Amino acid sequence: MPSDARLKDVLGMEEERTVLSVIQWGAAQLSTRGFEDARLNVELLLSHSLGTRAAGLHGILDRRVTSEEFDRFLQLLQRRLRHEPLQYITGEAEFMGITLSVNKQVLIPRPETELLVERALSIIKTIRKETIQVLDIGTGSGNIPIAIASFAPAVSVTSIDVSQGALETAARNAARHSISSVMFRHADVFAEFPPGQQFDVIVSNPPYISRDDFALLEPEVREFEPAIATTGGEDGLRFLRRISELSAGKLYAGGWLLMELSYDQSVEAVEILRNKGLSNVELFDDYQGIPRIIQAQVPISAGTMV
């Protein structure tokens, strides 16, 4: 980035530095380094620095940006230039219209996972029970259980994660939105899973990136997001196999399993779920037409306690 002296040359004296000139300059810094959506990134960073909403910047383009405000913006811009995700910089992410706090302990919620929640909600609507028991595996920021609880008041959600930091973040997000129907629990699906409880629906966005694909990820993911939440072993299917194995014992007869997949896992995933005795296996595409969500059902004759 240019030196402080060069910044004054580019943007003029403080009295002449406006919201518009800062946006234009900041967007140029990002775009020349290959960042997509450069202007949107800068508007979000600047609005965060000014303590306002990004949409409100367009009504104050002539407003002067003080040196203190500009210094705050520069610090954020420098973090973005190092490829730190925008959501970690601002500390917030949107998921299904819900604002969530995020940090480097949790995966940043993706639009594809909204499709997973939508499918889960569709299944939940078909279940005729006073209280529907849902298990979410891999709490993260709490985006999945909080969204399900927000849109399906009749559910009781148990949400588990091996990361204590993720559980604490998720609990804060649930409190932020006054969600009391989600219970967060520390658990490892590869260890002794808590016995005794069964569920109507299991939903999970598990780590599913293969070891080879992880090395090819953009730096925003590879260098900043928690690897424990992204990598799924050598072929990316380690968690899918384990969760599928658990489902026959953790789901009531007729219960449903829904999981998010990587772009190239659909064929293997269908075979794994069928080999575990699940039926009615179905795939759903994401916005790019890639099979992204898999759902399956425990046969009515199955569903024993473990």
Between CA 33 and CA 100 the distance in angstroms is 29
Which tens digits make up the pLDDT trace of 223-279?
988 888 888 778 889 999 999 999 888 999 999 999 999 999 999 999 999 999 999
Between CA 229 and CA 211 the distance in angstroms is 13
Average confidence (pLDDT) over 65-80: 94
The Cα-based distances of 257 to 93, 157, 169, 244 in angstroms read: 26, 14, 25, 8
- 86: confidence class by pLDDT, cuts 50, 70, 90: very high
Domain ranges of the chain: 4-82, 92-297
In CATH, what class is 4-82? mainly alpha
Answer yes or no: is pLDDT of 5 > 60.
no
- Contact present, 79 and 110 (Cβ < 8 Å): no
Residue 132 has a CB neighbour count (10 Å cut-off) of 19
Answer yes or no: is pLDDT of 83 > 70.
yes
Mean residue pLDDT of the chain comes to 90
Residue 3: per-residue pLDDT: 45
pTM here?
A: 0.89
Average confidence (pLDDT) over 165-172: 97
Average confidence (pLDDT) over 109-122: 97
Between CA 231 and CA 210 the distance in angstroms is 6
Q: Which helix (H) or strand (E) holds 278?
A: none
Average confidence (pLDDT) over 186-190: 91
Kindly indicate whether the domain formed by 92-297 is annotated with CATH number 3.30.70.2190.
Answer: no
- Identity of residue 55: A
Between CA 167 and CA 159 the distance in angstroms is 9
